[in-house]
Amino acid sequence: MTSFGGNEVREGNFTPTFKIHGQVYHVIGSLLPAPNTTPKFLQIYLSSEEEQLSLRQSATPTLQRGILKSIQEILRANNVYVRSFKTSIDRMPTNSNNYKVVIHA
């Protein structure tokens, strides 16, 4: 679950279609799934590579596992956001209940 935020710019008596000044950000919920629930969205990246693959395939069972694995490997190797997120997770203290991850785009 995410929310989108920014400093809205209002000009006169109307609001333009969409205009933001400054930083745009997304706020997400916990990186850890709630007790007794399946990881979803970004939470999947906290799992092992094999578990990630199983979670993705369970969401869309008609997709071929080999293709999902290839896409997962390509994203991990080439997508700067996936790499940044993985690096942040690897650096996360294991004894902390609260941790903030900021990925600058």
**Is 13 inside a domain boundary?**
no
- 86 falls within a domain: yes
Average pLDDT per consecutive 10 residues, the chain (105 residues; last block may be shorter): 61 67 75 86 84 91 92 92 79 72 68
Q: What is the pLDDT of residue 93?
A: 74
Non-local CB neighbours of 83 within 8 Å, separated by 6+ positions: 76
Owning domain of residue 52: 32-91
Kindly state whether residue 6 falls inside one of the protein's structural domains. Answer: no
**Count of structural domains within the chain:** 1
In a domain, 81, yes or no: yes
What is the per-residue pLDDT for 1? 45
Q: Are strands 20-28 and 2-8 parallel, antiparallel or unpaired?
A: antiparallel
b/e 18-34 (16+ beta carbons within 10 angstroms → b)? eeeeeeeeeeeeebebe
Residue 67 forms part of a structural domain? yes
CA angle 80, 81, 82 (to 5 degrees): 95
Domain for residue 49, yes or no? Answer: yes
102 within a domain of the structure (yes/no): no
Is 14 part of a structural domain of the chain?
A: no
